[in-house]
């Protein structure tokens, strides 16, 4: 028997009105523009019902991606579009997803992407100017907004923004080894105010595969890499080295991998984990690393025996 819906409401039906006649005259921009009638409670219930049904459903996910920057969003797009049966849940601490990909470098808008990562631009239909070994998107926001829209259109993707990952769930697995088994979440405004209020406990999401894309060190950057150290799963951070584009970009893509059981790392967080170079204002490695992370997630997921979001073999 199918489970009952999470939220049963007795919301009153919206007021009836002659819809066809209303629509015929509603869009009058000469002082008579009107909206369909509504009750304030309908707005609240429409949001609450969907948001908390989503939280209920995604308490067990197939893959959780931490961070909705360029690497995390690319990973989400490739993973969710190639494996539509998987529940892909993205957690983003900021209100606005996109990370540092809304601008190019030094607050300038053009985005530089080295070849062959330009193939991804064609896949998601982002125009660019070809400069030989690299291409230029006229505004980084064009890339980011197009990718974000493409990700959110996928029916198996959920994005929870303004939501912080406060910790990792770490269990002893079937073989007696420590395994990352999910994330500990809270609303970001709560996470930022633990020192100003009394105890405000978090929530959890269980998932067999976590992809961490929290970026290089910063207020919430390199979160999983730093937590691996404090949890004893990593001896020490490699710490990001100085800028060298030609060394940095292939290192990030080629070293995208499962850095601990259940935890795949992608994007600039790897520079802190591995001690690789930064590449500065060029984004090809973020695209390539995101795609590789998606492939690694599929490989790890398919190799595991999973029951109710937990790896049991």
The C-alpha atoms of residue 279 and residue 183 are separated, in whole angstroms, by 29
pLDDT at 271 over 80: yes
| Token output for 139 | 């505004």
pLDDT recorded at residue 175: 86
- Please tell me whether the overall predicted TM-score, pTM, comes out greater than 0.85 for this model: yes
Specify binding-site residues.
71, 92-93, 100, 165, 201, 216, 268, 278-280
Architecture of domain 64-311: 3-Layer(bba) Sandwich (3.50)
With H, G, I as helix, E, B as strand and everything else as coil, classify residue 104: coil
pLDDT recorded at residue 26: 67
pLDDT at 227 over 80: yes
Radius of gyration (Cα) for the chain, nearest Å? Answer: 22
For helices 284-303 and 70-82, angle between their N-to-C axes, nearest 10 degrees: 40
pLDDT single digits (tens) 109-148: 999 999 999 999 999 999 999 999 999 999 999 999 999 9
Specify binding-site residues for substrate.
71, 92-93, 100, 165, 201, 216, 268, 278-280
pLDDT at 98 over 90: yes
Nearest-CA neighbor of 61 among 203, 241, 174?
203
The whole-number average pLDDT for the span 74-79 is 98
For helices 245-254 and 284-303, angle between their N-to-C axes, nearest 10 degrees: 20
Name the band, by pLDDT with cuts 50, 70 and 90, for residue 253. Answer: very high
DSSP classification of residue 60: B
Residues 212, 168 contacting (CB under 8 angstroms): no
Helix, strand, coil: what percent of the chain each, to 5? 35, 20, 45
Pick 218 or 65 by higher pLDDT. 65
| Token output for 85 | 């049966």
| Token output for 203 | 């929530």
**Residues constituting the chain:** 313
pLDDT single digits (tens) 284-293: 999 999 999 9
pLDDT at 13 over 60: no
Instruction: Enumerate the domain spans of the chain.
Output: 64-311
Reading across the β-sheet that carries 163-172, which strands appear in turn? 163-172, 178-187, 203-206
| Token output for 195 | 């020192």
């Amino acid at each position: 028997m199918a489970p009952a819906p999470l939220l049963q409401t007795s919301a009153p039906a919206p007021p009836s009105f002659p819809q066809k006649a209303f629509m015929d005259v509603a869009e009058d921009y000469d002082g008579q523009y009107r909206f369909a009638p509504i009750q304030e409670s309908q707005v609240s219930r429409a949001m609450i019902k969907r948001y908390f049904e989503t939280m209920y459903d995604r308490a067990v996910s197939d893959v959780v991606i931490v961070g909705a920057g360029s690497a995390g969003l690319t990973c989400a797009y490739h993973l969710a579009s190639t494996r539509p049966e998987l529940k892909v849940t993205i957690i983003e601490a900021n209100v606005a997803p996109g990370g540092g990909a809304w601008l190019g470098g030094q607050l300038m808008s053009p985005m530089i992407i080295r070849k062959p990562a330009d193939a991804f631009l064609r896949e998601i239909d982002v125009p660019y100017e070809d400069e030989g070994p690299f291409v230029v998107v006229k505004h980084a926001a064009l890339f980011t907004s197009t990718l974000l829209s493409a990700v959110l259109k996928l029916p198996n993707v959920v994005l929870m923004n303004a939501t912080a990952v406060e910790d990792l769930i770490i269990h002893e697995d079937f073989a007696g080894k420590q395994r990352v088994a999910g994330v500990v979440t809270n609303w970001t405004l709560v996470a930022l105010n633990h020192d100003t209020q009394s105890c405000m406990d978090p929530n959890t999401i269980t998932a067999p595969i976590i992809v961490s894309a929290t970026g290089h060190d910063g207020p919430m950057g390199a979160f999983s890499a730093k937590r691996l150290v404090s949890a004893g799963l990593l001896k020490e951070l490699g710490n990001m080295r100085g800028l060298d584009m030609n060394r940095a970009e292939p290192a990030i893509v080629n070293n995208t991998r499962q850095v601990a059981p259940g935890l795949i790392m992608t994007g600039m967080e790897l520079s802190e984990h591995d001690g690789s170079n930064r590449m500065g204002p060029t984004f090809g490695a973020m695209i390539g690393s995101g795609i590789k992370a998606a492939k690694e997630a599929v490989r790890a997921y398919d190799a595991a025996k999973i029951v109710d979001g937990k790896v049991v073999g």
